[in-house]
């Protein structure tokens, strides 16, 4: 199926998303714990899509998932970045979509939610 990078500052969340993506048949080529790593891993691997937590710690000037999204889109305007968000982050989701995110998944993550968004973006 498709190759992916999973980005979240919480290891338990990365493991959960990776398991669900693998069950859906996708290949995880890398993971990252902050936006800076996400940008570096994207440049290295150029996956079919990225799941990106919106709220992560500031590392090397990349304050959150939206900053990482912008950097990835500057590198590859066709990048498929799907934001992962919690309740109450609607403004951030709108900002992310306006900056090129292909959509979002609301926590808790389920296979159905992942499958629905990937079908929406034809992956």
Cis peptide before 68 (omega within 30 of 0): no
pLDDT at 19: 96
* Residue 6 token pair: 């999973």
Q: Specify the CATH architecture of the domain 3-120.
A: 3-Layer(aba) Sandwich (3.40)
- What's the residue count for the chain? 123
pLDDT at 70: 97
pLDDT at 86: 86
pLDDT at 8: 97
Per-residue pLDDT tens digits for 19-37: 999 999 999 999 999 999 9
Element (H, E) at 44: helix 35-45
Q: How many CA atoms lie within 13 A of 37 on its CB side?
A: 15
14 closest CA partner among 79, 117, 109: 109
- Band (63; pLDDT cuts 50, 70, 90): confident
CB count in 10 Å sphere of residue 6: 27
Per-residue pLDDT tens digits for 69-114: 999 999 999 999 999 998 777 889 999 999 999 999 999 899 999 9
Extents of the domains making up the chain: 3-120
pLDDT at 89: 78
119 closest CA partner among 16, 24, 28: 24
CB count in 10 Å sphere of residue 60: 10
Q: How far apart are CA 1 and CA 15, in angstroms?
A: 19
Q: What predicted TM-score, i.e. pTM, was given to this entire model? A: 0.95
């Amino acid at each position: 199926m498709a190759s992916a990078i999973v980005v979240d500052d919480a290891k338990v969340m990365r493991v959960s998303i990776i398991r669900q993506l693998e069950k859906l048949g996708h290949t995880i080529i890398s993971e990252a714990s902050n936006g800076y790593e996400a940008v570096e891993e994207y440049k290295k691997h150029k996956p079919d899509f990225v799941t990106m937590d919106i709220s992560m710690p500031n590392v090397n000037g990349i304050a959150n998932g939206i900053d990482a999204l912008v950097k990835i889109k500057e590198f590859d305007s066709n990048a498929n970045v799907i934001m992962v968000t919690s309740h109450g982050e609607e403004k951030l989701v709108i900002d992310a979509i306006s900056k090129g995110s292909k959509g979002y998944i609301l926590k808790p993550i389920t296979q159905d939610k992942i499958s629905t968004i990937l079908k929406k973006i034809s992956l």
